[in-house]
Structures are given as C-alpha cells and as structure tokens.
Structure 1
Amino acid sequence: MKKLKRIVQDVKTLVTENMPNELNTLLWQLICYPPKIPLRLQQEQLLAKAENFSVIVDDPYFTNQRLQVNCFKWGNGSTRVLISHGWGSKAMDFDGLINALKENPNLQIIAFDAPANGSSEGDLSNLLLFANAVKAVIAAKGEPDIAIGHSFGTMANVSALTDLCITPKLLISIAPFILLQENFIRSMTAVGVPADAQQAFLDDFKSRYGIYPSEYAMQKLYKFDDTLNHWLAYDELDTMLPDAYLQVFLQAHPSIKTKNYSGAGHERIIKSAELIADVADKVNEAL
C-alpha cells in the first residue's frame, strides 16, 4: 500500500505542476499497479494444505518477460472448480469459501495469484494478463466444471472462457467488474487528474493496444447464451462498481440469476458468511 500511496501523491504533484508527459507515464502505474496485502495467519494455514504448482504467462505489456504465476489446489474430486480473484487481491482472500468447498470430497478446487498480484511475479498488470493466467491454469489442469470470479476476476473469467469456447456447468460472478474505461476514469478523477490528461491517457492506451479501454466491457465480452447456468451476487450499494453499470448488463441478459447482498461491500462480500453458504449450495446443486 505504501507504493500506491506514493504513486497517488506523485500524480497529484504532477497535476499541480502541470507536467503532462510525466503525468501520463505515471498514470500507467496508477491504473496498472495492484497493491499487495500480506497473508493473515488463517490464510497461511490454508495455503500450507494446498498442492502448489505454477504456470507461465508472457508479459509483452510491462516487463517483456515470462512471469511465474503461483497456483494452488485442494482436493482430488472429479468436479473441477476454478476461482479467480479481483484486482489487488489474491487466491487466499477466498479462504472462507475455499474452506467451505473443501468439505465436499467431490471437488477439486483450483485458485491462483494473477500476475503482479499476491505471490506471483510482476509489478504491473492488466485484464489481458489476468485472462491469460486463467487460460494457462486451464491448460495445466483442464477445463473447469465451475468457474467462480470476484470483481476483476469475473471479467477475466468471461474473457478467457469465451476465447477458449468453454461453457462451464456453472458460472458464479461476485461483484462483477463491468466497464474498464469507466473504472479508469473514476480512478483518475478521484486523485484530481483533469479531463484533458485523462483523455491523453486513454489515447495512449489506444496507441499501445489498438483499441480504447471502452472495448473491454462485459457487454461486449460476454458471448454466452441463455442456457448458461450463471449466478451473480452483487451489492446495490457497491461504491467501487456502480450498480447502474450492472443493471444495464443484467437487463441485456435476463437469464442470469442474481442475489443482492446489500451493504456487504465490494471487497468484503467474499467474506460474507451468507454469500459463502449460498455459493457452496450453488456448487453442490450443480454436481
């Protein structure tokens, strides 16, 4: 968190000093740096019970290196469950859910730390690295029967599964990330970046990736039809991902089943005892 605080302070300084070129360079760190939070004791204990493995993801965006992505597996059941965490998070932040799912001997639970998140290599990350990590895990361990994602991990799951033409038996999305560009804009606005500097960053994004970040929207990435068993948990009071974004997406896909955990909080929702019990029930129902 110290590095993120320093980035924010440096951005504010460059805005005040009107240094657009330096500001644009630093905005890439503001947008693409995921803070790392140390493991708690109970998370370390759960991690000690995991079977560890790793996959490799190419990073042509920041390091131009091959990054080691650390992965974890519990159980040897016939039903494979893949869990994808959110931005600035890690696999062990799902400790409560993983412990609940471990009680079912029919499950094989797989989770990973995305590039530049948790224990995996890298300093900066993006949606493509997240999605490519999902693909690499699937290549190593096989197609998931059930895919669970939180926040940014939901968009990574949808992107990867769509690219691989995989339709799981059950897709669970928790506080899903909906609009990438709008999130960028909210992040820049929150630290006082003026509109012209924001547009310069978006233009630079297009020059690097060939498209504006507005193309990375759930409405455009989501290609599943209404036969998919998709359950979505959200908090209408979520201050990080405005509910209005989600409702537009849900109106376009009325077959998605939902539950509102009002007041649970964007980050804390995956710790909710009610949500953990509901997810465990949904998984058991899909077996």
Structure 2
Amino acid sequence: MNSKKIMQKSIGFYFNFLSFAHPKKLKKEGFLLFCNPFARKVKPHQLEFLQKGMADSFTLEGYKIQTYKWGNGSKKVLLVHGWASHSFRWKNYIEHLVKNDFTVYALDAPAHGLSSGKSIHVVLYAKVINAFLEKNSEISSIVSHSIGGFATTYFLDHYKEHTIKKVVVMGAPGEASDFFDFYKQTLGLTTKSVDLIIDEFQAQLGKSPNYYSSAKFAESITIPALIVHDKDDLATSFKYSIRLSKHWKNSQLLLTEGLGHDLKSKELLKKVTDFVTN
C-alpha cells in the first residue's frame, strides 16, 4: 500500500471514529474535505503567462475572485476551469481565440489559482459565474471543463437573466451523489459516516446530493451546446456526457479517444472555436 492510500485509509478511520465519538465534528470536517480541491499552486511560468492578460478581481461572499482578460476581439467568451485547476489550463485556447477575433475572459474559482478560500462546490461556483457575467454582460459564450462544466450547467438552469448564447461543456461530472460514493469507497467510510456528511451537505446547500444532477438541470436549457468527453477519461466517465446530451435539447455530443480528462488537442481546439464562432 503506497503512502497516498495509507493517508486515505487513515482519514477514513478517523472519520469513522468521529461518527461515534463526535458526529458534529465529523459533519464539519467531512463536508470541508468534500469541498476542498487541494488545488495546485500557480507556478512561476504559469504566472508569467497569466500576467500578460489584464488582471482584475472582485469580492463575493468574502471570497476574492481573480479574473483575467485577453484581446479585444468582437466576440466575447468566458473560460471556466475545473477541479484543482486554474486559468492557466486555458493557455492554448486563449492564444488561439485571441487570434480569431475573440476577447477572452477567465476566472479562478474560489480555492483555486489566485482566488482566496479553501473550499468550492457547484452552487458557489455558479454564483461566481453569475456575478462575473453581471459585470461583463457582453460575454455571449462559455467554454467549461470538468466541475466548471457542472457549475455552468447549474448556472444556466438557475440563473435565467444572462446573455449566453452558446456553451461548451467538456469532461464534466454529472451527479453529486457519485462523489459521495467515490469518497466512501476511497476512504473506507461507513454508511453512518457518509450519512452524517450528507446531512451537513444538505444543511449547507439546501438540497440533497441527488438534486445536483447535470442531466436534470439541462432539461430547462435551450441554448446550443457542444458536449465533449473522452472515452479514456479516468476522472469522470463519458457516460455522464452521453446522458447530459440526451437531456439537453439543443446539444451536440462529441466523444473523443486518447485525450483523457485534460482534453487537449489542436483538433479539438479548432472544433470548439468553430462552434462558439459560427
């Protein structure tokens, strides 16, 4: 057993102990772990690139949200990154889109990149997206990845006053309940431990995990979407995107192979650009 698995099982043992000895503490610590991305720090070469854009920030619910802008093209797009990532993941997209008459905006989610905080969840991320779009109403399209895609779908379902005309969702998870199944298996949590953490989840977000389903959210969305997933994605199953596309009335499904969860290739970059352009 490697050190990572030993750490995971140790956390699980600790949480299972708390479920009997101190259930209130388990609720708090378990929920915080569930929402903690343990995000990577921005490296010097990444920061050097990001600083070439116009950096700005705004505050939402006590979080400082880092934002960026590149170019002055006639078309406006917002890039929404995924779990444990930040705006640099879009470097190739930024450079390509700027050359194709786009003004490109990006933001770091709470607890990611240069934004503040230690936790993130879909509801908070959607609030951040909405707040940014309220300040930048000229943006007409969103390109999103991973949990950023989940949050974008939630945003489009719950916030109707926006100017978004097209959206790209890449490699996105689809069910919050599956995250709990993953943590239960990975950490070796008992059913009692998981139920206590779910109680806190519902207390904090107002709904049970089963409510947070991208396919359900998509049923109310009518704007055109390109849904992309790789069949070799080891982080999120492409079955989520197949289901999402069936519930999203005006969507196209693109399944790739060999790109994994990162979904980085020149061919895909061109297809995404063509979709948000035409």
Q: Secondary structure at the match of 2:99?
A: coil
Which of 254, 260, 275 does residue 282 from structure 1 map onto?
Answer: 275
Shift of 1:17: 4.4
CA change 1:198–1:51 in 2 (3 A) is same
Aligned to 1:94: 90
Closer, same or farther: CA 6–100 of 1 in aligned 2, 3 Å: farther
Deviation at 1:41, TM superposition (A): 5.0
SS of equivalent to 1:51:
coil
Contact 1:43 1:93 in 2 (8 A): no
CA distance in 2: counterparts of 1:39 and 1:278, whole angstroms: 28
Q: Among residues 99, 105, 124, which one is paired with 2:119 in the alignment?
A: 124
Letter in 1 for 2:65: V
TM-score by length of 2: 0.87
Deviation readout 1:123-170 (Å, 9 max, x if unpaired): 112112211111111122224211111011112222223313336232
Displacement of 1:18 in angstroms is 6.2
TM-score (norm 1): 0.85
Which residue is equivalent to 1:26?
A: 29
Deviation at 1:26, TM superposition (A): 2.6
Structure 1 unaligned blocks of 5 or more: 59-65
Looking at structure 1, the residues matched to 217 and 65 of structure 2 have their Cα atoms a distance apart, in angstroms, of 24
How far residue 230 of structure 1 moved from its aligned partner, in angstroms, is: 1.0
What pairs up with 1:1-287 in 2 under 5 angstroms?
8=8, 10-15=10-15, 17=17, 19-20=19-20, 21=23, 22-40=25-43, 42-58=45-61, 66-104=62-100, 106-162=101-157, 163-166=159-162, 168-222=164-218, 223-225=220-222, 228-253=223-248, 255-266=250-261, 268-269=262-263, 271-284=264-277, 286=278
- Contact 1:8 1:30 (C-alpha < 8 Å) held by counterparts: no
* CA–CA separation in structure 1 for the residues paired with 2:123 and 2:7: 23
Contact 1:143 1:166 in 2 (8 A): no
2: distance between equivalents of 1:274 and 1:42?
Answer: 25
TM-aligned CA deviation for residue 40 of structure 1: 4.1
Query: 1:245-270, CA deviations, whole angstroms, 9 ceiling, x for partnerless residues?
Result: 3323322336411211223111x21x
| Partner secondary structure for residue 193 of structure 1 | coil
| Partner SS, residue 166 of structure 1 | coil
Amino acid at match of 1:282: F
Query: Which deviations, in whole Å up to 9, do the C-alpha atoms of 1:20-59 show, x marking residues without a partner?
Result: 424443322321111221334552332121001112111x
Distance in 2, Cα, partners of 1:273 & 1:170 = 21
Q: Residues 48, 257 of structure 1: CA spacing in aligned structure 2 closer, same or farther, 3 A cutoff?
A: same
> Quick one: which amino acid aligns to residue 178 of structure 2?
E
Q: How far apart, CA to CA, are the structure 2 residues paired with 1:109 and 1:262?
A: 27
> Secondary structure of the residue that 1:97 maps to in structure 2?
helix
Measure, in 2, the Cα distance between the counterparts of 1:214 and 1:119.
31
Give the superposition deviation at 1:199. 2.0
Q: Mark the CA change 1:17 to 1:159 in structure 2 (over 3 Å): closer, same or farther.
A: closer
Letter in 2 for 1:159: Y
Q: Is residue 241–residue 253 contact of structure 2 (8 Å, CA) maintained in 1?
A: no
Mark the CA change 1:189 to 1:143 in structure 2 (over 3 Å): closer, same or farther. Answer: farther
Q: What is the DSSP-based 3-state SS (H/G/I as helix, E as strand, rest coil) of the residue aligned with 1:196?
A: helix
Specify every segment of 5 or more residues in structure 2 that has no aligned partner in the other structure, as ranges.
none
What's the CA shift for 1:11?
1.6
Using the alignment, how far apart are the partners of 1:199 and 1:258 within structure 2? 35
**Letter of the structure 2 residue corresponding to residue 224 of structure 1:** I
Cα RMSD after superposing both structures:
2.4
